[in-house]
Amino acid sequence: MKLTKSDRIQGGFWGLLVGDALGVPYEFHPANEIPPQSDIDFTPPAGFHRAHASVPPGTWSDDGAQALCLLDSLLTCGDMNPDDFANRLLEWYEKGKWAVDGYVFDVGNQTSEAIRAFRAGTPSTKAGFVRPNGKGNGSLMRVLPLALWHQGTDADLIEDAHLQSTVTHGHPCNQVCCALYCIWVRRVLSGMQAEDAYLDAVSTLRDIYSGHSTYLQELEWEIRPDEEPHSEGSGYVVDSLRSVRLTISQGSYEEVIKAAVALGNDTDTNAAIAGGLAGVRDGLTAIPEKWMENLRGREFAEPLLKKLLDLSGEG
């Protein structure tokens, strides 16, 4: 069955949130402590020491909440407005905006520092440089909605992906990872096979970065996009990007995000990033029904998705 754009957008939207929620209880555990993939579920096997033990199964974390903050900002402003987005992140940080139950239980150190800097008066597009050499995955984990929403050129999407990142993660490496992922998602959204889409995205960035040595250097020498992917499941942004390429070939949506969790360490974020792309590739119906039914917070995220579909002409 040929997937429609609506199928793919819904798959990506829910795929990110489900992947995030699936990874939450396994966070901080090394790969050798993760249960067999057949046993990975919202509720881990008996005896497994859950991270965030007070958080009910099926709850998305900072990844999902920040992605919803970004989408909310895009739909409200009609463009990538860093001031508005930073204010929404601050509202999430202080008041639990778009967090399930309004409860913020997981915040990356670099993100926290940037939000506090913004609160103290640092301009939104400078806040992400408070840790100049920081290369965490906090801007990559939430960028998917930008690719689902965007209707401009590839160059415009890349520029906005950079801008989105600078709010919390300003290093050019972070910006390039976000841009590569966005173009990759855009190609898959158009129906291209995942690996072909990745290679096309790399080629597109090389063309657009040809006159910008800093971004091109990060692409070629930090990300090294032509190398065979490997990942330790860490919070290093390049590791997270590689984990997507490593796991997207594992099979179905379910197999992809379980493989991302099986890498250990930053399980929620890596499953969210991989789950977003796998959801775009496979569509909404590929997400197991039991996970959709048990995903907490669906009812207040659904109106955002409807607005996105309406805007894209797929409502």
Structure tokens that stand for 169 in this block: 């993660």
Contact between 7 and 310 (Cβ < 8 Å): no
To the question of whether residue 207 is assigned a binding role by annotation, the answer is: no
Closest by Cα among 87, 133, 93, 88 to 111: 93
To the question of whether residue 63 is assigned a binding role by annotation, the answer is: yes
To the question of whether residue 61 is assigned a binding role by annotation, the answer is: yes
Using CA atoms, how far apart are residues 96 and 104, in angstroms rounded to an integer?
A: 6
Contacts made by residues 47-54, CB under 8 angstroms, sequence distance 24+: 50/25, 50/26, 51/24, 51/25, 51/26, 51/27, 52/24, 52/25, 52/27, 52/105, 52/106, 54/105
Instruction: Name the one residue in this structure whose structure tokens are 């907490």.
Output: 296
| Three-state helix/strand/coil letters over 85-133 | HHHHHHHHHHHCCCCHHHCCCCCCHHHHHHHHHHHCCCCHHHHCCCCCC
To the question of whether residue 266 is assigned a binding role by annotation, the answer is: yes
To the question of whether residue 239 is assigned a binding role by annotation, the answer is: no
How long is the chain?
315
Residues of the binding site: 61-63, 266, 268-269
Which residues fall in the annotated binding site for Mg(2+)?
61-63, 266, 268-269
